[in-house]
Amino acid sequence: MKPLPLIALLCTSTAALAADLDYYRDVYPFLKTNCISCHNKTTTKADLNMETPELMIKGGESGPSIILGNGAESLVVMASLHTKDMEMPPPNNKSGAMNLTPEQIATLKAWIDQGAKGSAMAERAVVMQAFSASIDPIYTVAMTKDGRYVACGRSNHIDLYDMATRQFVAQISDPAEKKGAAHRALIQSLAFSPDGTRLASGSFREVKIWKLAQGKPVTGNAKTSSVPAGADWIKKMATAGKVTVLSSALSADGKQVVTGCADGSVRVWDAATAKPVIELRGSLATTKKMAELEWTIASQTLEQAFQKNEITRIEAQDKALDILLGKAKEAIVAMNKVLPEKQKAVTPTTEAKTTAKKAVDELAAKIKALPGGKPDAVLAKQFRDAQDKLITTTMAEVSALAAVSAAQSNVKDAEDDVKRISDSKAADAKLVAAANATIAASKTLQDKATAELAAVKLAITKTTAKPIAVSFSADAQRVAALLDDGILRVWGTATGMPVEESAGQAVPITTLTSAPEGSFLATQAVTQSVGSSSNWVLERKIDQKGLFADRVNAVRFSPDGQTLATGGGELTRSGDIIFFDVATGKATRTWKEKHSDTVLCLDYSPDGKQLASGGADKIVRVTDVTTGKPLNLFEGHTHHVMGVAFRSDSRVLASAGAEGSVMTWNMSLGERKKKIEGWTKEVTSLQFIGATNQIVTSAGDNRIRIVTDDGTEVRTMAKLPDFMQAAVSAPNGNTVIGGGEDSQLRVWDGTGKELAVFGAH
């Protein structure tokens, strides 16, 4: 753009410029985009900050940028006009700043001419407009610790899914918002509490905490949705499956049959072919126990791998020490071999020096005895020659003694090296022994857990309780069985996972019915029910004025569930982390400007003592939670840090970069472990899978990719239809969830097979 001639600017006079001009109302809006993006408290190029009139008057390297009452000679105006070899903003700048228009320059000059009035920055309410029906991106996904429930932020809505039944459960909404929305703006972050009873969501300048409210069991209006299967079908099925049927029911659509069998199993069959669909066994307790044992087995595998790597590292170190030890011992032998010769060489030099000194002394005495102490020329020459010989013999002795000393010093140094190296090897031997002991203890613990897991699985197959009544839910996604020990149990038919149960009395006369909303009712001498009217309610909204500068990009509960950490800040200016007491919603501490740009991700260490954070400043930081003391600063990403995650043993931290790489960091050494590449666009999120070294990632290159923390690729779900923004995995890795710009929430099993796709509700 061709700059406005100075004479034209000086002659500009309009009614608008005649009025009193205000910095924040009239000048700040165009300076913010084109000048302040480089001249602010964070970047402060040329030491000039233009965020307030006072700072502009203070100026930078070239002095004040404005002269009160004299806009024409103010540097900021002349730079905008590109006069006196000044051109601001510079061409092809990285901030995308544009030249000021003639009207903007005229306003800037007139404001300075009027005295550069500042007033106060005006606060104005942000008026949110309704989203288009086509704008439903998924920017964040969260999963409960047990892998049962998944929540996704879809536009400004929160949708909840049950992975046991692979069904949409509910839309979590704020009654104060329209159309079932949870927030007015896009949802940027989600996190479940460790016990799964709370969900935190972050959006523009606000955080909301939702709580699971357990309603009363539904006992009224029971309606039978299943009828017993026909006798012929039961006979056919019994013949095919070689089981004795105690009870049966037909699904409402007539496509499936569920049977309670004499072996204690509950089985679902295809009604048309009598082929088995899924066998339902186990309870909530056994499922929880198996998950705990699987975690133990995985964590001990991780522990053993770590210790083996340590042994390998120490053994490699010992090999290097052995080489040094060999050289030190060789040096001792070599020096001890030549030392006697060097010591022997000292004696003749000492004798020669003694003889030379005696000669000097005798000649000195002879000269002293002469009248006047003045020798003749011959005697004087003899004395000088004797002195020269003394000097020569003295130097020879010194050289011989130095050779002995050097040899002795070399022997001493080599002996010290031997001791130091031997001590290091002894310490390494202790470390190896400790590592082997740890491996042995870990293996014992793992073997015990493996045996217990096998025992639990065997016990499930040999249950003695008999299913005396069975029923489908109205949609056939759940099956209930009343056992002869009085327990009423429900499974998800998609996964076979137990989802609910209720203990009653063992009574022979029973009926089992299901209601349209999904509850089951067993009527005996007493009535019991499963399927309560649970729902998520807004517990509190945190949006105090001035608390959050912009979007809340990250929320994370502490491992004990008592604290909520949030990350955000003002883009290009500050990255803030704020902690809240979950019980009261009150801010307990604030880490202002922890990053120089907005915070995008957070993760607590498993023990809750450290907090990792990543931001748009390309930095990963690890901070002591109690003291706020910086522990680690990791540099290596060349673009925004989009995700951080601790491994279950806290020994490794992983970070995702918008440049298309994942970095893993050795927390013990405080250095990078591995740079993992292979993405062509931003890596948008990451999470360690359970107690393993595997990391599930989402990326803009339309992939959900699983890699180990040393860079080995495990699996890739590729050729997805759109930019993937978030991914999570169940602890056992059997369920992987991903979402992105196309609003579809996808579910895969542990092999990468797609199991379900959920669109916007």
Res. 6 pLDDT band, cuts 50 70 90: very low
* Cis amide prior to 89 (ω within 30 degrees): yes
The percent of the chain in helix, strand and coil, each rounded to the nearest 5, is: 30, 30, 40
By the 8 A CB rule, do 27 and 93 touch? Answer: no
Is 692 among the domain residues? yes
Classify residue 372 as left (phi > 0), alpha (psi -120 to 50) or beta.
left
Answer yes or no: is pLDDT of 221 > 50. Answer: no
| Residue owning tokens 């924040």 | 24
Q: Are residues 324 and 402 in the same domain?
A: yes
* Residue where a domain terminates, one of 433, 460, 487: 460
Q: Which pair of structure tokens corresponds to residue 744?
A: 């579809």
How many separate domains does the chain show?
4
pLDDT at 328 over 70: yes
- Nearest in space to 518 (alpha carbons), one of 303, 218, 100, 237: 218
CATH code assigned at 365:
1.10.287.620
The residue count of the chain comes to 761
| Together in a domain, 385 and 495 | no
- Both tokens of 564, joined, read 């909520």
pLDDT at 14 over 50: no
Q: pLDDT, tens digit, for every residue of 667-711?
A: 999 999 999 999 999 999 999 999 999 999 999 999 999 999 999
Q: In the structure, what pLDDT confidence band is assigned to residue 13 with cuts at 50, 70 and 90?
A: very low
Q: Does 409 lie in the same domain as 327?
A: yes
Tell me the DSSP string of 501-565.
Answer: EEE----S--EEEE-TTS-EEEESSSEEEE-B--EEEEEEEE--TTT-SSB--EEEE-TTSSEEE
Domain match, 687 and 740 both = yes
Confidence of residue 130 (pLDDT cuts 50, 70, 90): low
Q: In this structure, what token pair is assigned to residue 109?
A: 């000059």
One domain, residues 486 and 434 = no
What pLDDT does 10 receive?
Answer: 42
Q: What percentage of the chain reaches a pLDDT higher than 90?
A: 66
Tens-digit pLDDT profile for residues 222-231: 333 455 666 6
3-state secondary structure string, 218-279? CCCCCECCCECCCHHHHHHHHHHHCCCEEEEEECCCCCEEEEEECCCCEEEEECCCCCEEEE
Residue 443 has pLDDT above 80, yes or no: yes
Q: Is residue 11 part of a domain?
A: yes
The mean predicted confidence, pLDDT, of the chain is: 88
Q: Are residues 427 and 312 in the same domain?
A: yes
Q: Is residue 618 part of a domain?
A: no
pLDDT greater than 80 at residue 530: no
359/490 same-domain check: no
Q: What is the mean pLDDT of residues 323-330?
A: 95
- The number of helix segments (H) and strand segments (E) in the chain equals 10, 39
Last residue of a domain, one of 530, 558, 587: 530
**In this structure, what token pair is assigned to residue 112?**
């300075």
* Local confidence band at 87 (pLDDT 50, 70, 90 cut-offs): confident
In a domain, 15, yes or no: yes
C-alpha to C-alpha distance for 569 and 619, rounded to whole angstroms: 15
**Do 256 and 290 have their domain in common?**
no
- Check whether 526 has a pLDDT greater than 80: no
- 238 or 313, which is more confident: 313
Whether residues 726 and 743 share a domain: the answer is: yes
pLDDT for the residue numbered 495: 95
Query: Range with the lowest mean pLDDT among 67-81, 205-219, 360-374, 466-480?
Result: 205-219
What was the pLDDT predicted at 571? 86
Reply yes or no on whether the pLDDT at 332 is more than 70: yes
- Backbone φ, ψ for residue 95 (5° rounding): -85, -10
Structural tokens at position 316: 């490699």
pLDDT tier for residue 129 given thresholds of 50, 70 and 90: low
Cβ atoms 742, 722 nearer than 8 A: yes
pLDDT beyond 90 at 389: yes
242, 263: one domain:
yes
Contact 284, 292 (CB under 8 A): no
* 214 inside domain: no
Point out the least confidently predicted range of 23-32, 263-272, 319-328: 23-32
Tell whether the torsion through CA atoms of 173, 178, 183 and 186 is positive or negative.
Answer: positive
Q: Are residues 392 and 302 in the same domain?
A: yes
Task: Give the residue from 508, 530, 552 where a domain finishes.
Answer: 530
Q: Is residue 740 part of a domain?
A: yes
CATH number of the domain to which 249 belongs: 2.130.10.10
**Closest to 689 (Cα-Cα) out of 703, 707, 672:** 707
What is the Cα–Cα distance from 251 to 224, expressed in whole angstroms?
11
Examine residue 683 and state whether it is found in any structural domain, yes or no. yes
* Same domain as 453, residue 323: yes
In Å, how far from its chain's centre is CA 337?
A: 61
State how far the Cα of 356 lies from the Cα of 352, in Å rounded to an integer: 6
With a cut of 70, say whether residue 286 has pLDDT above it: yes
Task: Report the distance separating Cα 527 and Cα 530, nearest Å.
Answer: 11
Residue 425 confidence class, pLDDT cut points 50, 70, 90: very high
The confidence band for 237, taking pLDDT boundaries of 50, 70 and 90, is low
* SS3 state at 628: coil
pLDDT tens-digit profile of 568-619?
999 888 899 999 999 999 999 999 999 999 999 999 999 999 999 999 999 9
Kindly state whether residue 156 falls inside one of the protein's structural domains.
no
Residue 301's domain comprises: 286-460
pLDDT over threshold 60, residue 449: yes
Quick one: pLDDT at residue 26? 86
